[in-house]
Structure 1
Amino acid sequence: MADPADTIYVGGDIVTMDRAAPAVQALAVRGGRITAVGDRADVVAAQQGPATEIVDLGGATLLPGFVDPHSHYINALSVANQVNVFAPPAGPGADVPAIVAALRGFRDSHPIPPGDMLVAYGYDDTMMPGGRTLSKDDLDADFPDMPVLVGHVSMHGAVLNSAALRTFGISAETQTPPGGVIVRKEGSNDPDGLVMETAFLPIFAAMPKPTPAQEVEWSRAGQMLYAAAGITTAHEGASHAADIALMQRAAAGGASLIDVVAYPFILDLDEILSANPPETFGRYVDRVKLGGVKVTLDGSPQGRTAYFTTPYLLEGPDGQRNWCGELPFTQDTVNGWFKQVYDLGLPLDIHANGDAAIDVALTAHEFAAAEDLGRDRLTVMVHSQFVRRDQLARYVEYRIIPSFFTEHTFYFGDAHVQLRGKEQADFLSPMRAAIDLGLRPTNHTDFVVTPLDQMFLVWTAVNRISRGGEVIGADQRVTPWEALESITINAAAQYREGDRKGSLEAGKLADLVVLDANPLTVDPMAIKDIAVLETIKEGETVYKA
């Protein structure tokens, strides 16, 4: 035997995510690639050599490593130094006192140098009992001098205390920019603490970054969060120029445990292109590649900043009546962005939650792609949460990939029923409708909007049960196989990497995940309880429980 396998996996369920051969008994790996899949006796006979390791899965399940269609990897670098204030069960933030207590506890157990900022993530105002939301006054009582920033669960804003507002130069005299939100105290111009959308962008860009000495360490720690969830390809969903440079420096310094695909933010694109010309996109260097360009058109439905054609059933975030959200940019501006990206020949990821934002995106596509509306450009409508059926039909015509966010059915489904009504909430992230039209949707966590937990993500797509126990759109449930496709083979195709990732086939990368149960055979309600035992990147274990 000229080239025996390094490793052969046997003794468990091997789910290939290849519809032609969905389950096999053995899988062989050599040099970081899969060399054979099939019957145990055949693979062992053909691939085993004197040094081949036979790995007995012991009844565990082997799948392709999960491919993350959309999250915010750059935030993972700092999460270890931030406070989790997600609402239960993902965190302790059940109400305002609980959030403040979590901040106090972190401050008391993690010495913070004078002048440094205390940062939290996951604040969900829709879960606050009685509508009693967090304000700067709540934070000032315990943190009169230390700047505190509590990130909104949408990642499109934050609540700042007075010291943080001063740090970022926001006061009663600050004008609210178009498409932005600066909530004011009733009867005055004094900021109440919540800053969102375009008003938040300069704050987000100025957030503390790791020092050069910390970049590799923080990057490896961030990638381990992904690896622990079984993810072998991570997504960075709105990269500023400094983020791109940091990721490339850290990768060159040896930080890359898994692959990372980054999408430069449109407002930083010219600066990024000066160091990364278009022809460098789509190629990994030290396991980091620039995948395309990101355009953000609206906010979040739970934050009441998503852009709709009909009003919310409740007032806007700053008390606006008949509030539909708003477009931060003109249609002409968006048209120009799409044309710039398409003319460069680069893929485009579009953040659009509300149906009006999706209308804007489709109009811009029609403008920029007029010569051939249906050419495969790898255009992805990220979230597409409140897409209409007529818009889905145009996705098919224009070859637009929907990347859904079914975790909203659990985390925010009850809020969406209140904000948008039951009928519209039931068509939230409509994976069933998309698949039935012939689309190949992906599905994502949008981390840190929701935790990195791919089995919980699959559970939400299969069950669509809200935090309150209500079913959100029973007719949009998908099968466990289809839910897994959305984070394996479909997600690999979204990056034009279906020839090397997303299924267990000979010749593809040995990117693997081992689970303690098979999502295809357990009770659908138990999928969320499945644990990741091991994550393998190109034949090397990067995480083991």
Structure 2
Amino acid sequence: MSEKLYFNGDILTMENELYVEALLIKNDKIFKTGSKDELIKVASKEVEFIDLQGKTLMPSFIDSHSHFSGYATSLLQVSVEEATNFNDIIDSIQNFIKKNNIKSGEWISVKGYDHNNLTEKTHPTKEILDKAAPNNPVALQHQSGHNGVFNSKALDILNIKSETPNPSGGIIEKENGEPTGYVEENAYVNNIQKVPMPSMEDLSTALVKAQDKYASYGITTMQEGMIVPMLGDILDLLRVKNLLKLDLIGYIDLRDYEILVKRFNSCIKKYENHLKIGGYKIFLDGSPQSRTAWMLEPYKNGEANYMGYPIYEDNALTEKVTLAIKDDMQLLAHCNGDAACKQYINAYNDAIKNAHTKNDIRPVIIHAQLLRKDQLDDVKRLNMIPSFFVAHVYHWGDIHVENFGFERASSISLANSALKKGIKFTFHQDSPVIEPNMLETVWCSVNRITKKGIVLGQDERIEPLEALKAVTINAAYQYFEEDLKGSLKENKLADLIILNENPLKVDKMDIKSIKVLETIKEGKTIFKL
């Protein structure tokens, strides 16, 4: 039996008794908390004493929404996140081709451009990508993950032509009747899935590296935010070869649920080699920084009365939500705009009546960026869980001010308003959109400062303790795992992290500078600085 007794530091439990003097773990679980002398009495002679030397021990972080395989794949892509203009994008792609000896005809996947950060202030076109790689099909992904650009060769392969209609919930941009290469929402999602995946050998290496990155941020439970059929082989690789050392909870695309439920039947709502299917996933709108989030009021500084657009008609959505309730499968719905949030709230309210069951699936509102204060009472009544992408305040807050005006932008991620209503909420990073940096997210929620240094939504700031709950005990609740994870309590899994400083005691502006020194999954160290 492996036993470890931690002492001489801030042991932060996230329970009502916030601090304890010592913690004893045996094998994969927390055996007891209390005073050091008490725990010595119940420990064996072989117990390992671990002196924290004033550092902080607390529950590990739980990722409430990301795309793990997407993050892994992004490690194999050309990154243009630092690009400031079209020429930077061209140079990055050409350097990648030379460095990696890319052959003519091979697909090139590029990630991370943001038109908001480019001097041109618009999306690149197929001509820009043709200049970068005239002999290769190129897929360029926007940082939001909701839109992108294909070059001429890619458009030909994907059969996107002048006569190709816009799919429901998506747009193929055209100029003088010809595709420009820019596509958004379903037009992007449907076609990016046709781009060939990297080799299984390269993917295997990237998946292991990605897992190590999550662990370095103190995360021991990750999410596969939308499982589509093309991810089946990747997840089987992880499961069959037992490559996972962190827990991975996946959510099946409702459009292909029958095939995927059958394929992953052995791990529906239970772990198999650290992989579990947690429920279903659905998209209801786009992203606010790309102006595709579905709003109740128009965006500023653009086409008059433009409010984004929905993915589903109301009746179709209610049918899908009803299906999730009947199947007793948790539903994660991507909703950024307040109109999308309203549609989801109404659909869930109607579906409860249609399903004729008392199944509580704890439906999650993913992102909930522009969820309104007047919608919170319904969220509370229906036991819905907003999972806020609160780091948007820092990463895109200045863009939101341009798109919505200061007052509306100040109301993104209503964490404090939700807290006052007694609503359980979580935080996430939607990786690979941004790094799965939990401490940066905690910092964002506590300070709410944009890149330009503007305080955006001062009244929605929360205290560090509540922010930590959003990425520990509340996130465990979101996953129906509150009895296993999220706090330091007897019989819970020994999923722990050691930090160099206590987030509750440092200056609030210094929270994002705290370092994860060690990450422990079920009693075993999986990362150490």
Q: Does 1:327 align with 2:310?
A: yes
Q: CA deviation at 1:245?
A: 4.5
Q: Which residue of 1 aligns with 2:501?
A: 517
* Change in 2 beyond 3 A, CA 1:266/1:375: closer
Q: Which residue of 1 aligns with 2:387?
A: 403
Q: Secondary structure at the match of 2:225?
A: strand
Q: Secondary structure at the match of 2:205?
A: helix
Question: What fraction of aligned residue pairs are identical, expressed as a percent?
Answer: 34
Q: CA deviation at 1:243?
A: 1.6
Q: CA deviation at 1:419?
A: 0.7
Q: Which amino acid aligns with 2:495?
A: D
Farther-moved stretch of structure 1 (391-400 vs 136-145):
136-145
Does the 8 Å CA contact 1:216/1:254 hold for their aligned counterparts?
A: no
Q: Secondary structure at the match of 1:74?
A: helix
Between the aligned partners of 1:105 and 1:444, the Cα distance in structure 2 is: 33
Q: CA deviation at 1:544?
A: 1.7
> For the aligned residues, what is the CA RMSD?
1.9
Q: Which residue of 2 aligns with 1:462?
A: 446
Q: Which amino acid aligns with 1:422?
A: F
Does the 8 Å CA contact 2:57/2:496 hold for their aligned counterparts?
A: yes
Q: Which residue of 2 aligns with 1:285?
A: 272
Q: CA deviation at 1:435?
A: 0.7
Q: Does 1:27 align with 2:23?
A: yes
Q: Which residue of 1 aligns with 2:83?
A: 93
Does the 8 Å CA contact 2:140/2:148 hold for their aligned counterparts?
A: yes
Size of the aligned set, in residue pairs, is: 528
Q: CA deviation at 1:373?
A: 10
Q: CA deviation at 1:98?
A: 2.7
Between the aligned partners of 1:373 and 1:392, the Cα distance in structure 2 is: 24
Q: Which residue of 1 aligns with 2:362?
A: 378
Does the 8 Å CA contact 1:76/1:225 hold for their aligned counterparts?
A: no
Q: Secondary structure at the match of 2:45?
A: coil
Moved over 6 A (4+): 371-375
Farther-moved stretch of structure 1 (429-438 vs 24-33):
24-33
Q: Which amino acid aligns with 1:52?
A: V
Q: CA deviation at 1:477?
A: 0.4
Between the aligned partners of 2:506 and 2:26, the Cα distance in structure 1 is: 31
* Change in 2 beyond 3 A, CA 1:40/1:339: same
Q: Which amino acid aligns with 1:490?
A: N
Farther-moved stretch of structure 1 (144-153 vs 226-235):
144-153
Deviations 1:113-160 (A, max 9, x none): 443222222221122235244222222222111222221111112122
- Any unmatched runs of 5+ in structure 2? none
TM-score of the superposed pair, with normalisation by structure 1 = 0.93
Between the aligned partners of 2:128 and 2:19, the Cα distance in structure 1 is: 55
Farther-moved stretch of structure 1 (482-491 vs 164-173):
164-173
Between the aligned partners of 1:537 and 1:500, the Cα distance in structure 2 is: 12
Q: Which residue of 1 aligns with 2:341?
A: 358
Q: Which residue of 2 aligns with 1:434?
A: 418
Q: CA deviation at 1:420?
A: 1.1
Between the aligned partners of 1:178 and 1:453, the Cα distance in structure 2 is: 34
Q: Which amino acid aligns with 1:342?
A: I
Between the aligned partners of 1:415 and 1:388, the Cα distance in structure 2 is: 19
* Change in 2 beyond 3 A, CA 1:97/1:528: farther
TM-score of the superposed pair, with normalisation by structure 2 = 0.95
Q: Does 1:194 align with 2:182?
A: yes
Q: Which residue of 1 aligns with 2:135?
A: 145
Between the aligned partners of 2:505 and 2:54, the Cα distance in structure 1 is: 13
> Which of 459, 478, 498 in structure 2 is aligned with 1:494?
478
Between the aligned partners of 2:47 and 2:203, the Cα distance in structure 1 is: 37
Q: CA deviation at 1:16?
A: 1.2
* Change in 2 beyond 3 A, CA 1:249/1:11: same
Between the aligned partners of 1:141 and 1:297, the Cα distance in structure 2 is: 35
Q: Which residue of 2 aligns with 1:343?
A: 326
Q: Within 5 Å, give how 1:116-515 maps onto structure 2.
A: 116-129=106-119, 131-185=121-175, 188-214=176-202, 216-277=204-265, 280-315=267-302, 320-370=303-353, 376-515=360-499
Q: CA deviation at 1:215?
A: 5.0
Deviations 1:478-532 (A, max 9, x none): 1111111001000000000010100111111111112222111111111111122
Does the 8 Å CA contact 1:366/1:373 hold for their aligned counterparts?
A: no
Q: Secondary structure at the match of 2:90?
A: helix
Q: Within 5 Å, give how 1:8-47 maps onto structure 2.
A: 8-18=5-15, 20-47=16-43
Q: Does 1:57 align with 2:52?
A: yes
Q: Which residue of 2 aligns with 1:7?
A: 4
> Which of 60, 63, 68 in structure 2 is aligned with 1:68?
63
Q: Which residue of 2 aligns with 1:89?
A: none
Q: CA deviation at 1:39?
A: 2.1
Between the aligned partners of 2:495 and 2:296, the Cα distance in structure 1 is: 43
Q: Secondary structure at the match of 2:53?
A: coil
Between the aligned partners of 2:111 and 2:381, the Cα distance in structure 1 is: 39
* Change in 2 beyond 3 A, CA 1:327/1:129: same
Between the aligned partners of 2:198 and 2:89, the Cα distance in structure 1 is: 25
Does the 8 Å CA contact 2:85/2:119 hold for their aligned counterparts?
A: yes
* Change in 2 beyond 3 A, CA 1:133/1:275: closer
Between the aligned partners of 1:177 and 1:64, the Cα distance in structure 2 is: 44
Between the aligned partners of 1:38 and 1:527, the Cα distance in structure 2 is: 27
Q: Which amino acid aligns with 1:66?
A: F
Q: Which residue of 1 aligns with 2:73?
A: 78
Between the aligned partners of 2:52 and 2:105, the Cα distance in structure 1 is: 51
Between the aligned partners of 2:49 and 2:89, the Cα distance in structure 1 is: 49
